[in-house]
């Protein structure tokens, strides 16, 4: 195996496998929530409020830990960080399977969020250190994209029948056990220290090691963050509730599992052509902005379709197009626009506020709107309007960056 192949398989492939398992740990509760609610005493009138807390408390810890974790781990080797955080949340996931206490469930889901929040920024550090600038979209697709969306595409398909056949406790033992038995030893064996990376810039060699707004790319960074908050609302607002949402429009049993995974299958299928187009055209900002604008419009059209199949088709196309167009590109945009020493911190800030903060709000928003209107589609429509604002924000970001380049070159 050549050095190039080893880099893609050793770094990209291992982290992809890890994120696959990480997303199983995140979404297992979305599949199991009906039985968990029954066993822990919050079915019935308490379901909407308590299940919203159970599903989103992960994102509260995730939001805080992304921001602080990205900053506090700047001088730690990312290999060490990803190993111990993965081990911590795997144990917490196993504990959930063994408890009958709602309090223990909430604490363990909070631990899951904190550990995965510290973990997430390390992936951008791996990408920035191990891959060249013109490889970043493809590298992010491998490291942060395929594991995430393969888990969602096939995770719901696999987890649903396991849950139906063996119950929710086995689901948590299985997903937590995969982390401890497979991923932690894999990371220890094959990931390499950051100091060995070909594009690693030691902090001592960086001109501006302090974390400042300028190091984060200046004021336009705030527009990136806003766009990411809206996409975090779209992604988590749909993902946390998708098993129950598709059931509410007529899909049950095996068809519920298939319908739940279809949007993420579309994301995986579209990922390769979109990554190639992005790296070849370098129109990453425009492609990412369209990845919010077009899906937002599609979700606003949900009331125009009366059948469950029509609604599922809109959700599938909207989520698949958004994910494949926005997600890999936004990290390439970020990694190319911030100082090397600030990549992990910038990733943590953006993902913490976006996925954690935006996702928490969206989780409650969709759950409460369903309780008020009897439909998950009303919440999905609101999310569509919000991501349109995020797309406009990203277009403004692109214009400001062009002006900055013109001033610098003139």
Q: Is residue 26 part of a domain?
A: yes
Given this model, what pLDDT does residue 330 score? Answer: 85
pTM of the model: 0.79
Residue 408 pLDDT greater than 70, yes or no: no
* Mean per-residue pLDDT of the chain: 86
**Secondary structure E strands in 335-391:** none
DSSP string, 136-147: HHHHHIIIIIIH
Residue 204 pLDDT greater than 70, yes or no: no
- Arithmetic mean of pLDDT, 67-76: 73
Residue 208 pLDDT greater than 50, yes or no: no
In the DSSP assignment, the letter for residue 204 is: G
Answer positive or negative: Cα dihedral of 130, 135, 139, 145: positive
Q: Is residue 209 part of a domain?
A: no
Per the structure, the count of domains in the chain is 1
Residue 404 pLDDT greater than 90, yes or no: no
pLDDT digit string, tens, across residues 160-190: 889 989 999 999 999 999 999 999 999 999 9
Residue 205 pLDDT greater than 60, yes or no: no
- How far the first Cα of the chain sits from its last, in Å, is 46
Percent of the chain whose pLDDT exceeds 70: 94
In the DSSP assignment, the letter for residue 167 is: -
pLDDT digit string, tens, across residues 72-124: 777 788 899 999 999 999 999 999 999 999 999 999 999 999 999 889 888 87
- Domain that residue 366 falls in: 3-192+214-409
Given this model, what pLDDT does residue 93 score? Answer: 97
Q: Is residue 201 part of a domain?
A: no
- Arithmetic mean of pLDDT, 227-240: 93
Q: Is residue 379 part of a domain?
A: yes
Number of H helices and E strands in the chain, helices first, is 17, 0
**In angstroms, rounded to a whole number, what is the distance separating the alpha carbons of residues 270 and 170?**
33
CA 291 from centroid of its chain's CA atoms: 15
pLDDT band at residue 307 under the 50/70/90 scheme: very high
Q: CB-based burial of residue 72 (10 Å sphere; 0-12 exposed, 13-18 middle, 19+ buried)?
A: middle
Residue 234 pLDDT greater than 50, yes or no: yes
Give the CATH number of the domain where residue 313 resides.
1.20.1250.20
- Encoding tokens for residue 30? 């979305």
| Residue 333 Ramachandran class (φ > 0 left, ψ -120 to 50 alpha, else beta) | alpha
pLDDT band at residue 209 under the 50/70/90 scheme: low
The b/e string for 289-302 (b: 16+ C-beta within 10 A; e otherwise) is: bbbbbbbbebbbeb
Residue 271 pLDDT greater than 70, yes or no: yes
pLDDT band at residue 409 under the 50/70/90 scheme: low
CA 395 from centroid of its chain's CA atoms: 22
**In angstroms, rounded to a whole number, what is the distance separating the alpha carbons of residues 232 and 399?**
23
Q: Is residue 269 part of a domain?
A: yes
DSSP string, 18-76: HHHHHHHHHHHHHHHHHHHHHHHT--GGGHHHHHHHHHHHHHHHHHHHHHHHHHHTTTS
- Arithmetic mean of pLDDT, 231-249: 92
Q: Is residue 225 part of a domain?
A: yes
**In angstroms, rounded to a whole number, what is the distance separating the alpha carbons of residues 298 and 315?**
8
**In angstroms, rounded to a whole number, what is the distance separating the alpha carbons of residues 347 and 62?**
13
Q: Is residue 357 part of a domain?
A: yes
3-state secondary structure of 211: coil
- Arithmetic mean of pLDDT, 48-59: 88
Q: Is residue 282 part of a domain?
A: yes
Percent of the chain whose pLDDT exceeds 90: 45
Residue 288 pLDDT greater than 90, yes or no: yes
- Are the CB atoms for 344 and 310 separated by under 8 Å? no
DSSP string, 100-138: --HHHHHHHHHHHHHHHHHHHHHHHHHHHHHS-GGGHHH
């Amino acid at each position: 195996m050549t050095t190039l192949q080893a880099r893609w398989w050793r770094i990209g492939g291992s982290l992809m496998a890890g994120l696959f398992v990480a997303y199983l740990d995140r979404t297992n509760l979305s599949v199991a929530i009906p039985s968990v609610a029954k066993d822990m005493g919050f079915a019935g009138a308490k379901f909407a409020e308590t299940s919203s807390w159970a599903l989103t408390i992960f994102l509260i810890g995730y939001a805080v830990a992304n921001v602080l974790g990205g900053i506090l781990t700047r001088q730690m080797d990312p290999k060490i960080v990803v190993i111990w955080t993965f081990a911590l949340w795997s144990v917490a996931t196993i504990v959930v399977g063994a408890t009958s206490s709602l309090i223990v469930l909430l604490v363990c889901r909070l631990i899951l969020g904190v550990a995965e929040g510290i973990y997430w920024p390390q992936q951008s550090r791996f990408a920035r250190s191990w891959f060249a600038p013109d490889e970043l979209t493809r590298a992010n697709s491998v490291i942060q994209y395929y594991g995430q969306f393969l888990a969602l595409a096939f995770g719901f398909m696999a987890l649903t029948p396991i849950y139906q056949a063996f119950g929710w406790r086995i689901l948590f033992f299985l997903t937590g056990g995969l982390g401890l038995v497979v991923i932690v030893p894999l990371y220890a064996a094959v990931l390499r220290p950051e100091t060995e990376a070909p594009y690693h810039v030691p902090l001592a060699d960086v001109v501006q090691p302090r974390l400042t707004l300028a190091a984060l790319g200046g004021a336009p960074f705030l527009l990136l963050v806003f766009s990411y908050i809206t996409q975090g609302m779209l992604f988590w607002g749909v993902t946390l509730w998708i098993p129950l949402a598709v059931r509410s429009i007529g899909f049950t049993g095996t068809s519920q599992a298939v319908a739940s995974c279809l949007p993420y299958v579309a994301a995986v299928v579209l990922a390769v052509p979109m990554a190639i187009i992005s790296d070849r055209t370098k129109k990453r900002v425009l492609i990412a902005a369209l990845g919010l604008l077009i899906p937002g419009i599609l979700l606003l059209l949900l009331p125009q379709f009366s059948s469950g199949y029509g609604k599922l088709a809109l959700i599938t196309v909207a989520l698949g197009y958004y994910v494949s167009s926005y997600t890999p590109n936004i990290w390439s945009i970020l990694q190319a626009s911030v100082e090397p020493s600030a990549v992990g911190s910038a990733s943590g800030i953006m993902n913490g506020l976006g996925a954690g903060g935006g996702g928490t709000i969206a989780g409650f928003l969709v759950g409460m709107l369903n309780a008020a209107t009897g439909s998950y589609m009303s919440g999905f429509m609101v999310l569509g309007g919000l991501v349109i604002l995020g797309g406009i924000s990203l277009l403004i970001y692109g214009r400001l960056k062009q002006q900055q380049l013109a001033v610098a070159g003139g």
